[in-house]
Amino acid sequence: MDSLTHIALGACMGEAFAGKKLGKKAWLWGAMSQSLPDIDFVTSFWMDTAENLLAHRGFTHSFLFCVIAAFILGLIAEKWHRPHNISLLKWCMFFGAMIFIHIFIDAFNNYGVAWFEPFSNKRISFNAIYVADPFFTIWPVIAFAAILIMKRRDNRKRKWYLSGLGLSTLYLMYCLVNKAIIERDFMTILAERKISYSRHFTTPAPLQNWLWYVVAGDDKGYYVGFRSLFDSNRSMDLTYFPRNDSLLVPVKDHRDIQDLIRFSQDFYTVEHYGDTLVFNDLRFGQMIGWHNPKGKFVFHYYIQHPDDNDLVVQRGRFAGWNKETAWALIDRIKGN
């Protein structure tokens, strides 16, 4: 999830843990530890783009890191705040919960997290919520804003942080129900149209959870489209993108290409933009694909110009957005 979400969640949980005892320090501990796994951003300073894609949400999002970091932070906090009546075990459990919740909710995005590193590089991704979903974030943010203006021992704080954390949890559960509905509909449509596939996924389109981006295919290519929870019929427009693996033959042994293929979990296509060879990771969707079914993919890596890929994940997320495409998104959410 985005940084604001982690900070707000951590601050609310810090208040729940020791707000009356430590005041604002509890918020800071919560916000800091909830954000700690994202310290892996520093790897971008010495790794190339392809390596950094795998390093992000790698070891710092693993269960092993959770245990090690929780123990170290627990030792620091227990010593720092003496005298107090919070045991080392409680401190360690608090920090463990903070870091675990971070890596747990990150797994609901499409980027994937390496829970089992360094023992396995398998990435876990449930593809149930967009990385920045305001309908998930708003509740802990409002709760923390309310707590921020209250006095230290105000008993109303408990209602606020419980509401903020509880509503976010309910929304995440709602997202899982939505995913189950979309999965059922998509599988039915593929079966009815006799489309063969060896792999597929469904994930929310930007900033909400009612319109979903869907992909199914095999080593030859992929069918891509959008499905709304409010679509009233079984018809669905799907656009086919050939995989074009043959274009990678001259460079397939290069380390950056191998990293990209592993990162994409095999959901990729290759194409030419003019005279430039481009690797597309389909998991991140299309630029305004609900408006332009043939639109470019958000994640596109210039194979022959690696220095132009510093913002490879972010640069396409909102490219082409304007008033027209935003209204087109809303209209598509309403269903066909």
Q: What are the pLDDT digits (tens) for 17-35?
A: 988 888 899 999 999 999 9
Q: Give 222-254 pLDDT, tens digit per residue.
A: 999 999 999 988 889 999 999 999 999 988 888
Q: pLDDT band for position 42 (50/70/90)? A: confident
- Are 92 and 74 spatial neighbours (Cβ–Cβ below 8 Å)? yes
Q: pLDDT band for position 318 (50/70/90)? A: confident
* pLDDT at residue 21, as a whole number: 87
* pLDDT at residue 251, as a whole number: 87
Q: Give 72-92 pLDDT, tens digit per residue.
A: 999 999 999 887 889 999 999
Q: Check pLDDT > 90 for residue 41.
A: no
Domain boundaries, the chain: 3-175, 193-333
* pLDDT at residue 161, as a whole number: 94
* pLDDT at residue 181, as a whole number: 97
* pLDDT at residue 193, as a whole number: 94
Cβ-in-10-Å burial (0-12, 13-18, 19+) of 124 comes to: middle
Calpha distance 307→310 (Å, rounded): 7
Q: Mean pLDDT of all residues in the chain?
A: 93
Structure tokens at 172: 């995440």
Mean pLDDT calculated for residue range 178-189: 97
Q: Give 129-153 pLDDT, tens digit per residue.
A: 999 999 999 999 999 999 999 888 8
Give the position of tokens 């449509």: 189
Structure tokens at 227: 């499905």
Q: pLDDT band for position 212 (50/70/90)? A: very high
Calpha distance 169→147 (Å, rounded): 19
- Are 58 and 117 spatial neighbours (Cβ–Cβ below 8 Å)? yes
Answering whether pTM is above 0.85, one says: yes
What percent of the residues of the chain are helix, what percent strand, and what percent coil, each to the nearest 5?
A: 50, 15, 35
Q: Which residues contact 305 (CB under 8 A, 6 or more apart)?
A: 276
